[in-house]
Amino acid sequence: MPEGHTLFRLAREQSVLFAGRPVHVTSPQGRFEAGAALLDGRVLDEVWSYGKHLFARFGADVLHVHLGLYGGYTGGTGAPPPARGALRMRWVADGPDGDGVWTDLRGPTACEVLADPDVDAILARLGPDPLRPRADAGRALRRIAGSRTPVGALLMDQSVLAGVGNVYRAELLFRHQVSPFRPGRGIGAELWARMWADLVTLMRAGVRMGRIVTTRPEHRSRTRGAVSLEDARYVYRRTGLPCRICGTDVRTEVMVGRNLYWCPVCQAT
């Protein structure tokens, strides 16, 4: 599932290509027909992300998209390709240079037109998003520090923290030597302040690079040049491989329906 940095990039990209111009909105598959008809031909004001949610404002109406596990966008310039398969929504517009631009959405868990109160209701259910400039880290801490639930589960709970997924969860816990099984109330304010600041840095880097790299140069097999996928993470998808710090085999276990990865020595408590 894409994490917050991917949605942030998508929002920015869609804003650059489509905002300020009328957008031809269709639903070739038909499952978003009424919504598409409502938005078709209207000027797109802006696109923004919050956590894993994408919002596009067309005047008083807001398009809400959640990609879920299987959703994704494709796009390009010039004339769009023939519409095929389960194409939920297509946007076509005269792009910033006057050339045609298009983007296709397939397989989202949500693609709906909302009014502002509905948008507010969604945002009210979400925790702070580390990529938002004025995000309130303390709101997440209050939820974490007041809970007996393992911190590994709390970090994935979008009502605690918005935008963090499986990769950032595993890597953040490793970088702070915190066991994913430690109860939330075992995370103090000072530790959380460090974790939050680190998460902001990591996610901003994710936005910049378009991928998640969490390792420090001294912990990679190649310390110069582009970071290979094998070198990019400490524990995520490294089951059975030696920990970059202590050499112990990285372990995995299912937590909240997703594979959790951790080093049992570096993250003993």
When the beta carbons of 27 and 267 are compared against Zn ion, the nearer one is: 267
Helical pair 4-18 and 189-209, crossing angle rounded to 10 deg: 40
Interface residue with Zn ion among 83, 115, 189, 245 (CB under 5 A) is 245
The stretch near Zn ion (CB under 5 A) out of 108-116, 156-164, 179-187, 247-255 is 247-255
Both tokens of 194, joined, read 């460090």
Interface residue with Zn ion among 246, 253, 259, 268 (CB under 5 A) is 246
Characterize the bridge pairing of strands 24-26 and 72-77.
unpaired
Does 83 sit near Zn ion (CB under 5 A)?
no
Selection from 131, 86, 92, 94 nearest residue 111 by Cα: 86
Does 140 sit near Zn ion (CB under 5 A)?
no
Does 235 sit near Zn ion (CB under 5 A)?
no
Binding residues for Zn ion, how many (CB under 5 A)? Answer: 7
Asked if 91 and 28 touch (Cβ cutoff 8 Å), the reply is no
d(CA 220, CA 266) in angstroms, rounded, equals 17
Does 241 sit near Zn ion (CB under 5 A)?
no
When the beta carbons of 41 and 264 are compared against Zn ion, the nearer one is: 264
When the beta carbons of 189 and 245 are compared against Zn ion, the nearer one is: 245
Does 153 sit near Zn ion (CB under 5 A)?
no
Asked if 108 and 71 touch (Cβ cutoff 8 Å), the reply is yes
Q: Is 144 exposed, middle or buried (0-12, 13-18, 19+ CB in 10 A)?
A: buried
- Looking at residue 170, the DSSP 8-state letter turns out to be H
Which backbone phi and psi does 94 adopt, to 5 degrees?
-80, 115
When the beta carbons of 139 and 216 are compared against Zn ion, the nearer one is: 216
The stretch near Zn ion (CB under 5 A) out of 87-95, 161-169, 204-212, 239-247 is 239-247
Interface residue with Zn ion among 135, 178, 213, 263 (CB under 5 A) is 263
Radius of gyration in angstroms for the set of CA atoms belonging to the chain, rounded to a whole number? 20
Interface residue with Zn ion among 67, 243, 255, 260 (CB under 5 A) is 243
Does 16 sit near Zn ion (CB under 5 A)?
no
Catalytic residues: 2-3, 52, 258
Beta strands, E only, the chain: 24-26, 46-50, 53-58, 61-66, 72-77, 87-94, 100-106, 110-114, 251-255, 258-262
What mask of x and - would describe binding to Zn ion in positions 188 to 227, judged by CB under 5 A?
----------------------------------------
Residue nearest to Zn ion (CB): 243
Does 268 sit near Zn ion (CB under 5 A)?
no
Characterize the bridge pairing of strands 87-94 and 53-58.
unpaired
The stretch near Zn ion (CB under 5 A) out of 146-154, 159-167, 181-189, 248-256 is 248-256
Residues that bind Zn ion (CB under 5 A): 243, 245-246, 248, 263, 265-266
